[in-house]
Amino acid sequence: MTILQLIQKPQKRGAEIFAAQLSQHLSTLGHKVILVSLFEGDAVLPFEGTQIHLRRPLKKRVYDVVGWKQLATLIKKYQPEIVQANAGDTLKWVVYSKIIFGWEAQLVARNASTVSNYIKHPLVKKINGWLYRKADSIVSVAVYTKDDLNRLFPFTTSKSVVIPIGIEPTKIEPIKWKGETDAKLQVVHVGGFSFEKNHQGLLVIWKKVLQKFPEAKLHLLGDGPLRSSVQEQIQQLGLEKNIVFHGAVSNPMDYMAAGHLVVLPSIIEGLPGVLLEAMYAKTSVVAYDTGGISEIVKEKETGYLVAKNDAEAFAAQMIKALTEDNTSIIKKAYQMVKEKYTNNQIALAFGRHYKTLVNDKN
């Protein structure tokens, strides 16, 4: 089977990294995969097959007929049975390209987040509803995200399936902590500096935890537009000595494995791969109950789950996770990831779904 995976741009973001990893595993299974990016990016993605970068101008993203035609030309050249849109502008691009230039392929839309948090205006809802109607299938990363989409657009129910995100099992390598290394407790957060990841809320939580563990260090992995404002807030709260910035790293799992705890106080999520990676790295996790997180973080079984926006409870759970014996939780979480959430298993599920779509069409 020939499959075209469309991504926003080459960048170290979950949607693009997973699409590249999925493409690699699908290739290993014998499929021909072409990975196409819309806009300019400088990241090297983990896919050894054919990558095509359209490098379209961002300023024309709403009306880029030339770009839609370029995509159609590629589709007519490679004749894929499946075209998958992976977040960002990708669904809009494939729909406009297909309608205007008339190519034949099954269109799969990947739903990796809680879309109702982003679609508020009636016009935006109408446009997105029209786009989803054009998709032959919608693959959500969690039951929660599927149900959220189905409530917003009831017509999507019949074309929705759930295939979770997976992780890439890798060998854990030792790391050296940046800056001072005398802290007895190392806590790790991995995520881009965007409002969804709630760094501002994390700092409030962290200040509460420091009352119990004044020498602990919080390591922030990632980069993004809100980094400077977070740095300003850290200075205002007087937390400079207890927080270390690492920027975007290529080996976040190594840092998570070296830490005593991984935290994720996000306010919007789909099914975050960072928690699965932490579990595979055999490190405890504390997270807000948002999106599909409760489908993998089971309280006192595979991690510590906190009601969304309850900073007091989050700090209390962090303290509990750092003080009690959680060997059993770590073991169960690791086993769950190995059995259900590795990318080779996820690629098999996508392959079966693609085959069903193509057979149903024929």
Instruction: Give the pLDDT confidence score for residue 313 in this predicted structure.
Output: 98
Instruction: Give the pLDDT confidence score for residue 178 in this predicted structure.
Output: 78
Instruction: Give the pLDDT confidence score for residue 182 in this predicted structure.
Output: 63
DSSP states of 9-25: -S-SSHHHHHHHHHHHH
Instruction: Give the pLDDT confidence score for residue 191 in this predicted structure.
Output: 94
Tens digit of each residue's pLDDT (9 = 90 or more) over 161-210 = 999 999 999 999 999 887 655 668 999 999 999 999 999 999 999 999 99
Is the pLDDT at 141 greater than 60? The verdict is yes
Tens digit of each residue's pLDDT (9 = 90 or more) over 209-225 = 999 999 999 999 999 99
Structure token digits, residue 65? 């007929």
What is the value of pTM for the model shown? 0.91
- Using 50, 70 and 90 to split pLDDT, how confident is the model at 300? confident
- Using 50, 70 and 90 to split pLDDT, how confident is the model at 276? very high
- Using 50, 70 and 90 to split pLDDT, how confident is the model at 354? very high
Strands 285-288 and 261-264: parallel
Q: What is the rounded average pLDDT of the residues 65-80? A: 97
Instruction: Give the pLDDT confidence score for residue 181 in this predicted structure.
Output: 57
Average pLDDT, the chain: 95
Q: Which position has the token pair 């420091």?
A: 210
Is the pLDDT at 268 greater than 90? The verdict is yes
Structure token digits, residue 311? 């900073």
Tens digit of each residue's pLDDT (9 = 90 or more) over 41-58 = 988 999 999 999 999 999
CA distances 240 to 226, 246, 317, 319, Å, are: 17, 14, 23, 20
Q: What is the rounded average pLDDT of the residues 102-113? A: 95
Q: What angle do CA 186, 190, 196 make, to 5 degrees?
A: 130
Q: What is the rounded average pLDDT of the residues 135-159? A: 97
Instruction: Give the pLDDT confidence score for residue 250 in this predicted structure.
Output: 86
**Using CA atoms, how far apart are residues 240 and 131, in angstroms rounded to an integer?**
46
Q: What percent of the chain has pLDDT over 70?
A: 99
Q: Domains in the chain, please, with CATH? A: 2-166+342-361 (3.40.50.2000), 186-340 (3.40.50.2000)
Q: What is the rounded average pLDDT of the residues 244-267? A: 95
- 310 phi and psi, to 5 degrees? -95, 85
**Using CA atoms, how far apart are residues 1 and 351, in angstroms rounded to an integer?**
9
Q: What is the rounded average pLDDT of the residues 260-281? A: 96
**Using CA atoms, how far apart are residues 53 and 39, in angstroms rounded to an integer?**
7
| CB neighbour burial string for 253-279, b if at least 16 within 10 angstroms, e if fewer | bbbbbbbbbbbbbbbbbbbbbbbbbbb
